[in-house]
Structure 1
Amino acid sequence: MKLKITIGERILTATLVNNPTTRDFISQLPLTLTLSDYVQAEKVSDLPKRLSTKDAPLGFEPTIGDLTYYSPWNGLAIFYKNRDYARGLIPIARIDAGVEVFSMSDSVKVTIDIIKQEKE
Structure 2
Amino acid sequence: MNLENQYLILSFGDEKLKASLENNATVREFIQYLPVTFTMNDLFNREKFVEVNDLEVERTISSYGKGDISYWTPGRALVIYYKDDDEPIHGLVKLGEILDGTERLENYPGNIEITIDIE
Q: Name the TM-score, length of structure 2 as normaliser.
A: 0.88
**1:111 matched to 2:111:** no
Cα deviation 1:10-58 (Å, max 9, x = unaligned) = 11100001000111111111110011111121111111x21101x213x
Aligned-CA RMSD value: 1.1
Contact kept? 1:71, 1:88, Cα under 8 Å: yes
Look up the match of 2:92: 89
Specify the code of the residue in structure 2 equivalent to 1:75: A
Q: Which has a greater percent of strand?
A: 1
Aligned residues: 112
Residue identity over aligned pairs, in percent, reads: 32
Q: What is the deviation of 1:61?
A: 0.7
Kindly indicate whether the alpha-carbon contact (under 8 Å) linking 1:68 and 1:90 is maintained by their aligned counterparts in 2: yes
Please say if residues 60 and 91 of structure 1, whose CA atoms lie closer than 8 Å, have aligned partners that are also in contact.
Answer: no
Q: 1:99 matched to which residue of 2?
A: 102
- Tell me whether 1:67 sits opposite 2:72 in the alignment: no
**Correspondence 1:23-102 to 2 at 5 A:** 23-47=28-52, 49-53=53-57, 55-57=58-60, 59-83=61-85, 84-102=87-105
- Structure 1 gaps of 5+ residues are 116-120
After TM superposition, which residue ranges in structure 1, 4 or more long, deviate above 2 angstroms? Answer: none
User: Any unmatched runs of 5+ in structure 2?
Assistant: 1-5
